[in-house]
Amino acid sequence: MIRSPGFRLRLGLTLGFATLFAVCVLAAWTYMSEAGRHLGADYPALTGDIVRAQAETADLRLALEDLAREPGDARHRERVETLLWLMPERMDAIRRVLARTELAEAGQVDVLDALRRTEDRLATLEASLTPPDAQLEAIGQALEADLAWAYSSLLDRVHRAAAAQQRLMKRLSIAVGTLIGLVLMVAGALMLALARLHRQWRRLSELSVTDPLTGLANRRRLWDLARHHLARHRRDGGELALLLIDLDHFKAVNDRFGHPAGDAALQAFAEMLRSLIRGPDLVARLGGEEFAVLLPDSGLPAARRLGERLRRATAALDLPPPADGHVLTASLGLSATRAGAHDMERLYALADAGLYRAKQGGRNRLEINEAS
């Protein structure tokens, strides 16, 4: 199947726009996903760790009070030991999560220092369990006070940072959406511009192969199509016929009725030619009052019958005023080739020789010049 340049251009534009749209959607989705994962997901995890650490601090104070009241109860000692192991792990987890957020460690020196001091106290506290120190309650209260301040301060900063980050994400989302909208607008404008250029290109292409007076094909279009069919016939077989038509003494129409009347007569003749040919045939104006009919897959017998119909129809053609009543006649030359044996130049030369014989033989006649 032959793909026209216009088809390829439309296909390229469609694929380009689809690719641009897909890239924008993928970029936006990837950005939002990555931004949400890196900038938003850590804050809920950090908040959860801080809340659990606060609860564990309160549990430690209560466990120490119970142990101070009942120093011989193994359950209280086991509970305290479990919390003393768990709380440093929780602090370490908080520091790790904190390092992955926008809360730079340099800005949290006071909180981190408090957590480090508390870890030292926890180690001291663990050593004071055997035997239980009389100051366990006081130590527990002091630990709770320090950790309460540190965790409350940190939690407040996390909340503020998370709120600021949410505002930033909203602004970034608006910016990304605006950017995608602008990209799509630019792409749409580019598509419209390219479509307009394509229409203009098609119009110019049509004009380059069209006779402006009659709307028929011109010599260039005739030659291009003939070469296409000849190439196909060389490959697959087939016949191709060419009729050359010259209106007899047409100068008399221009001299007698004027050039506008002559143009109107040519247009009427062109319409008559269109009405008599088959769909695959091509009618072309070669210049002045000379025309041609290209008949793909037609041999000499069929082309001769068409030529005679054209000759008779020309003599019976009613011309528009002021040339109405004037009788036109036409001389025709016919040639044909089989399986692309001759190129277009040879085929045209043979038909032109037949046309010359028709004029020399008295005009208003058809002459066949068979290829040797």
- The alpha-carbon radius of gyration of the chain (Å, integer) is 48
What's residue 17's pLDDT?
65
Q: Please tell me the CATH code under which domain 10-183 is placed.
A: 1.20.120
Catalytic positions, written as ranges: 289
d(CA 213, CA 333): 23
Could you tell me which of 236, 245, 349, 345 has the C-alpha nearest to residue 297? 236
Give Cα 347 to chain centroid, integer Å.
46
User: Is 292:283 a contact under the CB 8 Å cutoff?
Assistant: yes
Q: Where are the CATH 1.20.120 domain residues in the chain?
A: 10-183
What's residue 219's pLDDT?
92
Q: At what angle do helices 42-69 and 136-208 cross, to 10 degrees?
A: 170
d(CA 128, CA 138): 12
Average pLDDT over residues 248-259: 92
Q: How far is CA 369 from CA 113, 240, 243, 342, in A?
A: 110, 14, 10, 13
d(CA 29, CA 203): 42
Question: 295 has which bridge partners?
Answer: 241
Better-scored residue on pLDDT, 25 or 349: 349
Structural tokens at position 120: 């030292």
What's residue 339's pLDDT?
78
Mean pLDDT of the chain: 80
Could you tell me which of 266, 275, 260 has the C-alpha nearest to residue 330? 266
Which of 26-30, 58-62, 334-338 shows the lowest per-residue confidence on average (mean pLDDT)? 26-30
Q: Where are the CATH 3.30.70.270 domain residues in the chain?
A: 219-368
* Burial of 227 (C-beta count, 10 Å sphere; 0-12/13-18/19+): middle
Neighbours of 309 (CB within 10 A): 12
3-class SS string, the chain: CCCCHHHHHHHHHHHHHHHHHHHHHHHHHHHHHHHHHHHHCHHHHHHHHHHHHHHHHHHHHHHHHHHHHCCCCHHHHHHHHHHHHHHHHHHHHHHHHHHCCCCCHHHHHHHHHHHHHHHHHHHHHHHCCCCCCCCHHHHHHHHHHHHHHHHHHHHHHHHHHHHHHHHHHHHHHHHHHHHHHHHHHHHHHHHHHHHHHHHHHHHHHHHHCECCCCCCECHHHHHHHHHHHHHHHHHHCCEEEEEEEEECCCHHHHHHHCHHHHHHHHHHHHHHHHHHCCCCCEEEEEECCEEEEEEECCCHHHHHHHHHHHHHHHHCCCCCCCCCCCCCCEEEEEEEEECCCCCHHHHHHHHHHHHHHHHHCCCCCEEECCCC
Q: What percent of the chain has pLDDT over 90?
A: 34
What's residue 148's pLDDT?
75
Place 268 in a pLDDT band, splitting at 50, 70 and 90: very high
What's residue 263's pLDDT?
94
Neighbours of 348 (CB within 10 A): 21
Structural tokens at position 281: 């045939």
The per-residue pLDDT for range 92-120, each reduced to its tens digit, is 777 777 776 666 544 566 776 777 777 77
**CATH top-level class of 219-368:** alpha beta
Ranked by mean pLDDT, the top range of 56-70, 139-153, 303-317 is 303-317
Ranked by mean pLDDT, the top range of 46-55, 80-89, 161-170, 353-362 is 353-362
Better-scored residue on pLDDT, 121 or 268: 268
| 31 pLDDT higher than 70 | no
The per-residue pLDDT for range 197-220, each reduced to its tens digit, is 778 777 777 767 789 899 999 999
Which of 233-237, 304-308, 363-367 shows the lowest per-residue confidence on average (mean pLDDT)? 233-237
Q: How far is CA 292 from CA 101, 259, 307, 333, 355, in A?
A: 82, 22, 11, 9, 11
With tokens 């209280």, the residue in question is 76
d(CA 63, CA 75): 9
Answer yes or no: pTM beyond 0.85: no
User: Is 240:229 a contact under the CB 8 Å cutoff?
Assistant: yes
| 28 pLDDT higher than 60 | yes
d(CA 134, CA 121): 16
What's residue 3's pLDDT?
52
